[in-house]
A and B are shown apart, each in its own frame.
Chain A
Amino acid sequence: MLSKTVIYLLLAVASLLSIFPFYWMFVMATNENSAINSVPPAMIPGSQLVTNFQNVLNTIDFFGAIGNSLIVSTITTIGVLFLCSLAGFAFAKFHFKGKNILFVAILVTMMIPPQLGLIPQYIIITKLDWLNDLKAVIVPGLIDAFGIFWMRQYISSNVPDELVDAAKIDGCSNFRVYWNIAVPVIIPAFATLAIIKFMYMWNDFLWPLVVLRDESTYTIQIALRGLIDNYVKDNGMILSGTFWATVPLVIVFLLLNRLFIQSLTEGAVKS
C-alpha cells in the first residue's frame, strides 16, 4: 500500500506543477522585461500590469479577437445543440428506412482525420468567397458527428417511448414532440455538449489560421500567435496577452468546475 505521505507528496507536486505556469504567466504579465530576463527570473508579481496590457492593445486587436472568438464559439455551439439534438431525436425515436445505415455512416466519419480534406476545404471556402469571413469557421463547425451520437444515446435512455407516443396520439406534430417532450428532458446532455463544443471552437487553431487571414477576423488564438511574431521579443507584453486571454476561461472553469469535469468525463467515459 502506498503510504499516506507518498500519496500526498505525489498529488501536491502534480498540483503545483499544474498550476505553476498560470502563476508564472501572471508574474511575467506584471513585470518589466529586465526583471524577466535576469538570473534568476522574477518570481513575484511586479507593477507593470497596466503597461504590459497597454502594449498588448497596441500590438493586436485584443478585444476584437476575443469578440470574434465569442461569436464563432457561441453560434456554433447553439447551432450544434439544435442540429445534433434534432438528429439524435430522429435516430432515437423515429422509424424510417435506412436509419441504422445512416447512423453508422455518421460514426464512421468520426474516424477520418480532419487534415485529409484541408486543401479542398480551403478551395471551397475561396470559391464561396468566405475567406476572411467568420462564416468560414462557423458553417463547417456545425458538423458534429460526436454530438449526434451523444444526443441519440442520451435521448434513447432518458426520453420514454410511451411519452412520445402519448404526445402523438394527442395530436402533437413531430417537431412539437421534440420541442415540448424531448428538449426539457435533455438539458444535462445540452450542458455537456455545450462545454465540449465551446472549448473546441475556442481553441481551434489550424482551420482559422487557414481561412482567417485578415486581422479584423482573427480569433483570439490567431491573435495571440501574432504577439510572438514581433521582431523585438517583449515577454512581459506577450504573457500579458496570454494571461488575459486565459483568465476568463479559468474563472468560468473555477465557477463551474463540477459541471465542467463531469461533462468532459461523461463525454469521454461513456463513448
Chain B
Amino acid sequence: MTVAQIQPQTSSQKPLKKRKSSFRESTKEAIAGYLYVSPFFILFAIFGLFPMLFSFYLGFQKWNGLGEMEYVGLQNFEWIITDPLFWKSLSNTLIMWVMGTIPQLIIGIILAYALNSALVKLKSIFRVSIFMPYVTSTVAVAIVFGIMFNDQDFGLINVILSWFGVDPVSWSTTEWGVKIAISTMVFWRWLGYNTIIYLAGLQAIPNELYEAAKIDGATTRQKIQYITIPMLRPIIILTVFTSTIGALQLFTEPLVYIGRSYREEGLTVVLYLYREAFVNLAYGPASAAAIILFFIIIVLSAINVFVANRIGK
C-alpha cells in the first residue's frame, strides 16, 4: 500500500459533461455531502483524534487517573527509556516479528506458487484447509497452542520432540521457548491468509507474459525472477507492510500465553503499555510508551516503503 496508489483519482472523477445545475441544487448537494461524511469525522474526533492528542499531553504528566495531573517534563520518557523491561519488550517484539513474519511470507509465496501450478488437482480443498486457521479467534489459537506447548513431558510438542530423542523443553519459562511458541501461533494463523493473498496476486499475472517468455526460451528460474517476482511486488509490499504493523502490535497471543505473570520472555511493547496503564495505573509512563511505539511504527513503515521501492527495480 504505497501512498501513490491510494491518492484519490480526481481527474477521472469529473463528469464528462458539465452538469447544468442551479445554485440551489449544488448547495443542497454540498450540504448532503458534508452530512454524509460527518459521522466519521465526529466519531473520529471524539474517539480517535482527541485521545491521540491527549496521549501526547499525558506523556508529560504524572497521573494515576484519579488525582491532579502534574507536569513532569520528559521524566516519563526518561523512565521508559531507562527501564530495562521496556527494552526487553522492544527486543522481544522485534525478535518475534522476524521469527513469525519472515518464514510466513517466504513459505506463503512458495505455497501460493504450488497452489497456482496447473498440475495440481483438489486445489479448492488445499486452499480451504490452508486458509482455515485465519477463521478462528486469536484467543482460541493462543489457548490451543498454549496447551500444545505444555512444559510437561506429556505436552504434545514435547512428545513429538521425544520421538527424535530431544528432552522436554520448558516452553513457557525459557527465553527462546516462549518466543518460539508465540511466533508459531502467529505463523500458523497468518500463513494461509498470506498464501491466499499471494495466490490472488499470482492469478492476476497475465498468462501471455509467461507464454512470451517461453517462446523466448526462458527457464523456470528466469520466469520467476523476471515475471513473477516483479509482478507480485505490490502484493509483497502490502503483506510486508501489514504484517510488520501487525507484529509491532502483538498483544493477544502473549497475554493469553504468558498470562497475568507478564513473564519478561514474552513481554511485547503493547503488553508493556497495557501493563503500565491498566495494572500499574501509571498513565504518564504508559502514554510515553505509546508515543515511542507510534514513532517506532512510523520509522519502520518508512523503512519498509524505502526498501520496498528498491526491491526488484
Residues of A within 8 A of B (CB): 1-2, 4, 7-8, 10-12, 14-19, 21-22, 24-25, 28, 36-41, 83, 86-87, 89-92, 94-97, 99-100, 102-104, 106-107, 109, 111-124, 139-140, 142-145, 148-149, 156, 161, 165, 168, 174-175, 178, 199, 202-203, 205-206, 210, 220-221, 224-225, 227-229, 235, 238-239, 242, 245-246, 249-250, 253-254, 257, 260-261, 264-265, 268-269, 271
Contact = CB atoms under 8 A, between A and B. Distances in A.
Interface stretch (B74-82, B83-91, B172-180, B249-257): B249-257
A205 B145 contact: no
Contact of B146 (A86, A99, A228): A228
A265 B141 CA distance: 22
B114 to A, nearest CB: 5
A224 B286 CA distance: 27
Nearest to A142: B43
B32 A174 contact: yes
Contact of A94 (B32, B51, B113, B301): B32
Contacts of A36: 154
Contacts of A38: 154
Interface string B130-142: 1111111111110
B52 A117 contact: yes
The majority secondary structure among interface residues of chain B is: helix
B144 A25 contact: yes
A119 B286 contact: yes
Contacts of B137: 202-203, 220-221, 224, 245-246, 249
B103 interface: no
Given A96-B33, A175-B32, A228-B143, A206 B251 contact: yes
Contacts of A92: 13
Given A7-B120, A119-B58, A205 B10 contact: no
A149 B32 contact: no
Contact of B290 (A18, A115, A242): A115
B133 A2 contact: no
B246 to A, nearest CB: 10
Interface string B236-278: 0010001001001101100110011000000000100110011
Contact of B249 (A115, A210, A246, A260): A115
Contacts of B131: 18, 257, 261
Contacts of B204: 269
Given A95-B29, A156-B9, 18 more contacts: A11-B120, A15-B126, A18-B132, A87-B37, A96-B34, A114-B249, A116-B293, A118-B273, A119-B286, A121-B47, A148-B40, A205-B255, A210-B274, A224-B139, A225-B139, A260-B135, A261-B128, A264-B134
A83 B147 contact: no
Interface stretch (B92-100, B195-203, B210-218): B195-203
B203 to A, nearest CB: 10
A225 B32 contact: no
Which 8 A-B pairs have CB atoms at the shortest separation, nearest pair first?
A117-B51, A120-B51, A15-B129, A96-B30, A90-B36, A96-B33, A94-B33, A120-B54
A41 B36 contact: no
Given A206-B274, A249-B136, A121 B51 contact: yes
B15 interface: yes
A21 B40 contact: no
Interface of B: 1, 6-10, 13, 15-16, 19, 25-26, 28-30, 32-34, 36-37, 39-41, 43-44, 46-48, 50-52, 54-55, 58, 65, 107, 110-111, 113-115, 117, 119-120, 125-141, 143-148, 152-154, 156, 159, 162, 188, 191-193, 196-197, 199-201, 204, 220, 235, 238, 242, 245, 248-249, 251-252, 255-256, 259-260, 270, 273-274, 277-278, 283, 286-287, 290-291, 293-294, 297-298, 301
Contacts of A161: 15-16
B147 A238 contact: yes
A16 B16 CA distance: 55
A220 B287 CA distance: 29
A112 B30 contact: no
Contacts of B245: 113
A139 B139 contact: no
Contact of A15 (B47, B130, B291): B130
Given A11-B114, A123-B65, A205-B139, A103 B8 contact: yes
Contacts of B16: 161
Nearest to A140: B47
A113 B286 CA distance: 15
A12 B130 CA distance: 9
Contacts of A250: 132, 135-136
Contacts of A97: 30
A96 to B, nearest CB: 4
Contacts of A99: 33
A145 B159 CA distance: 47
A1 B220 contact: yes
B119 A224 contact: no
Nearest to A202: B137
